[in-house]
Structure 1
């Protein structure tokens, strides 16, 4: 392949002193995405990337296979309200999932919200929805171009008619309907210009909206005087008596409040405030509040709280903490509480009946991940989302009394993919400090593991998020070519409870990178691969992960795919919604946090004259979570610093009409996957032409 040199990049010198340390940033000018010079530079980088990746051997065959794999229909987002059932489904070649409803368990489905009809290019996405208590109405939010700044609208489930409501600034709004459908409580961000510049990304508040009225008349009922970074989850008791408000401060602590809706003059009841623990996932059993918490229970327990006696001394344990399982989510059913538990990074579905003292597991289709659960006190059926490495995401109806299950909306088989031909192992290895880390390894059954297998290692390790068995639509293309896939359960996640999460956040973040690097070393020492055939990939916080691995151990990897990443950890908190992540990472404005951030910040660990592996950094110009400036600055710095030359190119892939990834249309996902897997295959020796 012909060598294409990167465009020349101007170096500037912005020097500042932070806590006595002099920091020079040569590419500060690339932070301004609206500057014509930055835009011209981005266009030149994109042109180079397109020429290199578009001309790869086997590109056409790879793109065809990926189109087959990604065009298979999907179902997700299942929920039930009374006798109505809701879910998101995308047929074959459709760009976006459609919201459907059924008025009985086996009834005919009807489309309620079709974002494909709102944009011919598929650039309008349905971000979220929340049905009313009886399912008669659905509030939903759509956004454009991947920016996730949705507008709330209402659809009538019976007629399909869209009501007059159009409430902007409702990014992933939490909505709680009154049982009589007269209105709802919801969360909303301020309009630009109503607060100081930049603050419109924060300052979410809780509002009351009466159905059929103008949004400007909505009453603000909670959030005034609280931290601008607080975010809220809402739920109303089925009898309409109580509104519960969960106020989140990051991913490790939250407060909980109750508002008496029958006595508007009464002060808000404080359930938990100022405690260094999580109180979340609220449900009601009659008038009693059920809440998940890791307070004095790092693997979580569920507490039963009488609103008239909110002091913790009166709380009762509804589901006890268990040493080998972490409670991830739960729902209330006719049979009692059903919990999603995580045991050794694998999901279990457990029914707690007989006044919640008797426990038994429901049988899942295999060793996989339960992605969601929804039920209510009046029904024995629950909606369960499920996936595994071998099976695409499905929605099942489970009878909690006898364990019977059937698909709510069947998923068509994946073309040319045989789940029985896939082999999955869970292994364990020691991290740098001796901590035992679990890891999933996936490959074709019967493959010869000879130390020369092209291998992709990925991970996340943060924000209390579990990384378990999950179907990845493009992965079969890799496995079919003899590739190995590895997913370690890094500290910072939720696989082993809150202790595991805290071991990978703030000043412990280096543990996450050590866990990942040790996984790479284990794969090499274990005879799976060698550095030249080992690639790493990650997105968002996982982009930070691979950026840290790239700069700390560049000799370990043959290729790096880094998507929508955080990379300048000294300045990340100045942009977009990133102040929300300060409780997870810390801020360079704090002297102690500066010390650990400066020690691992990938942008500040690039060393001139180092032979860095070939790297593709991908971003979206409409990303409203992680600013694309991270990708631009890192590409410029790596291109300047590497001594490996164009035999190991540093590439930028920047999409103009795309964001962090949510809501990306099928056509863009196929093109993105072709670039990602084409690049990895090229660098790791996979022949896509066979």
Structure 2
């Protein structure tokens, strides 16, 4: 591409001490020269982080066009969007971002009427806590919407303190409950209290256990949380993850317990006499149930890898009594949304969302129509994704969020069989996606299996050998890579590039079998699927390896760093955000024991063998010319410890010794930031400009004039 940017001069990397540390683990010699970088509290490590970040700043600030990228990303991120919604009584609560706000806020509006009303800001976390990094992690309104439980955190740590807000006045009640990361909250019908999940005081558990032992407790509004009594604490192991729901009449309490990433146990309590029943336990199936009238209704992968919708009487809730409301098919069942009369069924095909309606099985209309009647499809605006699903208890209506690659997240209301836009309209609340083209491709992986690949480009761009392309993916934990808005993707496509998303194994694009085909010992196939996507793009003449970059975050960061070490020839540039890189020691840090069922246990000899076969930090080979690499991480990340990015950067930088004209390896460590959730818009724009500026300078994108 003519007049393409290039990276400015790169200073020498700060020296990283390489120690002759080699452990023999289950017969394997495992070198770990940079273990000293694991201790983020060590002043020497902090100085090294700062030196790496200063070096990265020297380069990234000098990239041509970075200022224009920063401004454009700021505009794209400031497009007003809805990130979550919940209907409670006559109130509609929503998490909104953009429109000049640097941080997402919680708004409340009327859910009634024939047209959307403007929401009133109920919680502005940055203003409330007088901290620009303060974030709203989650929220749960009471059934009538008079009160809202919210989770607040700062610095990106997501550890959350539960607070209660009066909807009418915006006043905070005295209740303040710490250690409520990603809390599940089930309100009593009268709003007098709730069941909720909380983590233990670190002083009460063994060292390193504070991120586990999540249990369900009961809280009365106004009571001291220290006196909250446990409701469910029979964890099958410390890493199990319980969630809680309560029926509308308060009689039935449902506890779902996730054990690993393939199993959900479900327990049902009749609160009239305190009797517990185990609905399903110890079976590798994902089950998500609701109390709907006099029945349990929900989704399960039991005997159905793509999922099915089932129902059973509360008096006989066990799997033998389950009947299919929506049987298994080629569609992947994602969720159901109950309303007063209906069940909305969310599914995907090839990662594209579909929505349909069936009658509630406890209603006369369902009996008249027959429980085996086909779901009635509900048309969506285009190929995209659904999120923020919430149905009304009082009315036959629901609210759903919708997004696609060039369509920012917006809110839709379903009623009377149709969907209608419910995000307030106006010149500042629209984003024109008509200038872009989204395509869905199929390509063969290394074993012949066909994989879906989405591409986003400007409509007037015809991909060819010199087209700058950024390929991304995830490939783990059953995460489906459905079409979703990305400011970075739009900014890249505007500059004439192609943004590609590979729906590789490890996700749930084709159901639970697709997930398991990329799990544990099968993880290398995930990397092979991703490499095959890059090879297909090149073979089809849609880009060239010297114009191709790959990027991924978290598990996706593991993906791209593993591919980096497996195929140094694959691409010209790599961005790995908050990545996992040391697969031998990962369970020792933060909450990573939660991921052992997905990856394997390095303490097990068989598991260690496959983990070592791809562990990026251990697969770096001295003297190899690797692509240009940018590693980004947050110093306060409570999910993936920044040690992974540190150790990987040091290892790659050391491996470049003796390589003629090595590509740069940059490490960007952001203070006061975590895994990415809740990051202020201004910081997201700065990081996005760094990432796109770096990738663009390597793969040949013409810079916009600063």
Residue 157 of structure 2 corresponds to which residue in structure 1?
Answer: 147
1:165 partner SS: strand
Residue 504 of structure 1, aligned match among 501, 518, 524: 518
Alpha carbons of structure 1 residues 204 and 412: separation in structure 2 relative to 1, 3 Å: farther
For residues 309-328 of structure 1, what are the structure 2 equivalents within 5 Å? 309-322=316-329, 324-328=330-334
- Checking the alignment, whether the CA contact within 8 Å between 1:397 and 1:406 is kept in structure 2 is yes
Residue 591 of structure 1 corresponds to which residue in structure 2?
Answer: 605
**Larger relative contact order, structure 1 or 2 (CA cutoff 8 Å, min sep 6):** 2
Residue 281 of structure 2 corresponds to which residue in structure 1?
Answer: 273
Cα deviation for residue 214 of structure 1 reads 0.6
Tell me, in whole angstroms, the C-alpha distance in 2 between the residues paired with 1:503 and 1:110.
46
Residue 688 of structure 2 corresponds to which residue in structure 1?
Answer: 673
- Checking the alignment, whether the CA contact within 8 Å between 2:83 and 2:388 is kept in structure 1 is no
Residue 529 of structure 1, aligned match among 538, 543, 546: 543
Alpha carbons of structure 1 residues 23 and 377: separation in structure 2 relative to 1, 3 Å: same
Alpha carbons of structure 1 residues 285 and 296: separation in structure 2 relative to 1, 3 Å: same
Residue 331 of structure 1, aligned match among 317, 322, 337: 337
Residue 3 of structure 2 corresponds to which residue in structure 1?
Answer: none
Cα-to-partner distance string for 1:75-124 (whole Å, 9 max, x where unaligned) = 12111112211101124221211111123434553222111203555210
1:555 partner SS: coil
Residue 194 of structure 1, aligned match among 192, 200, 204: 204
Tell me, in whole angstroms, the C-alpha distance in 2 between the residues paired with 1:312 and 1:379.
30
Cα deviation for residue 329 of structure 1 reads 1.1
- Checking the alignment, whether the CA contact within 8 Å between 1:132 and 1:138 is kept in structure 2 is yes
1:535 partner SS: strand
Residue 664 of structure 1, aligned match among 679, 689, 692: 679
Alpha carbons of structure 1 residues 475 and 306: separation in structure 2 relative to 1, 3 Å: same
Determine if the alignment matches structure 1 residue 36 to structure 2 residue 59. no
1:429 partner SS: strand
**Can you give the 5+ residue segments of structure 2 that lack an aligned partner in the other structure?**
1-7, 360-364
Cα-to-partner distance string for 1:147-172 (whole Å, 9 max, x where unaligned) = 00100010111222211100000011
Cα-to-partner distance string for 1:380-434 (whole Å, 9 max, x where unaligned) = 21101100012100011111x331412244475579x641110111111110111
2:441 partner SS: strand
Cα-to-partner distance string for 1:326-357 (whole Å, 9 max, x where unaligned) = 11111112442111110121000011235242
Tell me, in whole angstroms, the C-alpha distance in 2 between the residues paired with 1:566 and 1:404.
41
Determine if the alignment matches structure 1 residue 306 to structure 2 residue 303. no
- Checking the alignment, whether the CA contact within 8 Å between 1:3 and 1:646 is kept in structure 2 is no
Tell me, in whole angstroms, the C-alpha distance in 2 between the residues paired with 1:73 and 1:589.
47
Cα deviation for residue 689 of structure 1 reads 3.3
Aligned length: 684
CA RMSD of aligned residues (A): 1.6
Residue 393 of structure 1 corresponds to which residue in structure 2?
Answer: 409
Tell me, in whole angstroms, the C-alpha distance in 1 between the residues paired with 2:259 and 2:506.
17
Alpha carbons of structure 1 residues 92 and 311: separation in structure 2 relative to 1, 3 Å: closer
Determine if the alignment matches structure 1 residue 84 to structure 2 residue 99. no
Residue 5 of structure 2 corresponds to which residue in structure 1?
Answer: none
- Checking the alignment, whether the CA contact within 8 Å between 1:3 and 1:647 is kept in structure 2 is no
- Checking the alignment, whether the CA contact within 8 Å between 1:395 and 1:409 is kept in structure 2 is no
Residue 105 of structure 1, aligned match among 103, 112, 116: 112
**Can you give the 5+ residue segments of structure 1 that lack an aligned partner in the other structure?**
none
TM-score (structure 2 length as normaliser):
0.95
1:99 partner SS: strand
Residue 559 of structure 1 corresponds to which residue in structure 2?
Answer: 573
Residue 171 of structure 2, aligned match among 161, 176, 179: 161
Tell me, in whole angstroms, the C-alpha distance in 1 between the residues paired with 2:234 and 2:204.
15
Residue 649 of structure 1, aligned match among 664, 685, 689: 664
TM-score (structure 1 length as normaliser):
0.97
For residues 406-421 of structure 1, what are the structure 2 equivalents within 5 Å? 406-410=421-425, 418-421=432-435
Alpha carbons of structure 1 residues 137 and 129: separation in structure 2 relative to 1, 3 Å: same
Residue 438 of structure 1 corresponds to which residue in structure 2?
Answer: 452
Residue 258 of structure 2, aligned match among 245, 248, 251: 248
